[in-house]
Copies of this chain bind each other. A is one copy, B any other.
Amino acid sequence: MNGLKSPLATANDVARRAGVSQSAVSRAFTPGASVSSVTRTKVLEAAQELGYRPNAIARSLITRRSNMVGVAIGNLANPFFSAALEELSNQLGTAGLRLLLFSANLEAPIEEVLQYRLESLVMLSIPLTSKLAVECEAARVPVVLFNRTLPGSGVSSVTGDNGNGGRAIAAYLLASGHERVAFMAGLNESSTSREREEGFTRYLQEQGHSLYLREQGDFDGATAATAMRRLLLRPVRPDAVFCANDHMAIIALQVAQAEFGLEVGRDISIVGFDDVPQASSPGVSLTTYSQPIDPMVKATVDIIDRLGKGETEPRNVVVPGELMVRASTRKPRRSPQNGANNR
């Protein structure tokens, strides 16, 4: 109510006003500290009157814990990442951790963010460069990869079940009688895309089939449209396209519909990966393999917690998903057909 321009009240000010020592003030604000309830009320009252709030910076300095987790993002345009970030923000908040966000493509911030004694650094679907890995190690900041792996590196990671997802999609496409299946890859250097592709093509091979076509995308919008056009301009079109993520698959679907007049799910089947919210929207109805965000984020926060408690062993968690069959793919029929009869 008073002192609008005065400097912010400190624990000392509160102590004086409450007639107790400064450490009593500290204890009153520390859950589980030994203070009599009468002292605590005195302190809390005085604090209230002074508009006092403990200074987290000073606390961090002495406890040597920032309670902050760095999160590096690449592009948030992919709804899978923005959903993951949102959930991460929720769960970290609930766990009493603060989320320090920064863009991985900027040089400066990444260097400066390490100056905070981060509990952990989460790479949200972006690769961990070896330079960064070294710096994090030097700064004693453990890294957790989200939606990426770096096998043999001793870095913790949380991913969806890329390999089995790829296999499940291949199995479904074969069971529903597709004969010319194509794959639209994401970024080449991404473990995510590679694992999905590997599961996919391996299953095809096991069944005596092979990939009909392969296009290189980059997980993002513009190139996915181009890649899809190339596929559809072939003299003999693929009858199914598996895109390395939903974001690309939705673009591909729109290109097929809007530019080529195809009825997706009849003239051509399209499959994605992630199960983003849009995938189940009325106009899209995309068959896809899910990456359940909630358990993936839970696993991430769990790893961070363990690291905070001194556990040093890296963990590589794979969260299972499931095939979500929707209208963008042709349904399996009892007897396999030899139906190479479109167009």
Contact = CB atoms under 8 A, between A and B. Distances in A.
A22 interface: no
Interface string A110-154: 001111110000000000000000000011100000000000000
In the A-B complex, list the 6 residue pairs whose CB atoms are closest, starting with the nearest: A254-B283, A56-B115, A82-B82, A93-B109, A51-B138, A76-B86
A93 B106 contact: yes
Contact of A113 (B61, B98, B254, B285): B98
Nearest to A254: B283
A336 interface: no
A98 B100 contact: yes
Contact of A77 (B73, B83, B94, B255): B83
B101 A89 contact: yes
Contacts of A282: 225, 251, 254-255, 258-259
Contacts of A103: 86, 89-90, 93
Contacts of A8: 139-140
Interface of A: 8, 51, 53-61, 66, 68, 71, 73, 75-77, 79, 82-83, 85-86, 89-90, 93-94, 96, 98-103, 105-106, 108-109, 112-117, 138-140, 221, 225, 251, 253-255, 257-259, 277, 281-285
A73 B82 CA distance: 11
B85 A76 contact: yes
Given A93-B102, A94-B108, A221 B281 contact: yes
